[in-house]
Amino acid sequence: MADVSKVSVTNASDGPRVFNSTPPIVLQAGQSSDGPISISAAELKSMKASGHFEFGESAAAAEPGPLDGSVDELTAHLETISDPDEVQRLIDAETAGKSRKSAIAALEARRDELLAA
């Protein structure tokens, strides 16, 4: 899907609303998405114009983090980290998100290395 944003959405209307995300979502009045969801740029524009929704911070607008790149890029970034707690936060985020086995292995290896030092 080209030109996709990830946003948190709250239904600010008086009734249920459906929008075309991946997959489509129905939110009851006052209900929020469980977290950021993928929405095409066209659908996001339409939703904003409707006035029926409130939006959280767009992940697409945020700076990419160390977990957003390849595992090789992540491994290189880990060499700059000296705090095992910071690595653990990355492990928690990776586990809650993409949960790539190779990324988790690299993160755990760096955490263990730092804890052993």
**58 phi, psi to nearest 5 deg:** -80, 125
**Residue 23 to residue 40: CA distance in whole angstroms:** 11
Please give the angle made by the CA atoms of 3, 16 and 8, to the nearest 5 degrees.
40
- Does residue 49 share a domain with residue 76? no
Residue 65 lies in a domain: no
Residue 63 lies in a domain: no
Residue 40 lies in a domain: yes
Number of structural domains (the chain) is: 2
pTM beyond 0.85: the answer is no
Structural domain containing residue 89 = 71-116
Amino acid at 56: G
Tens-level pLDDT at each residue, the chain (117 residues) = 345 677 888 999 999 998 887 678 899 999 988 878 877 778 888 888 889 999 886 544 445 678 888 999 999 999 999 999 999 989 988 888 788 999 999 999 999 999 998
Residue 11 lies in a domain: yes
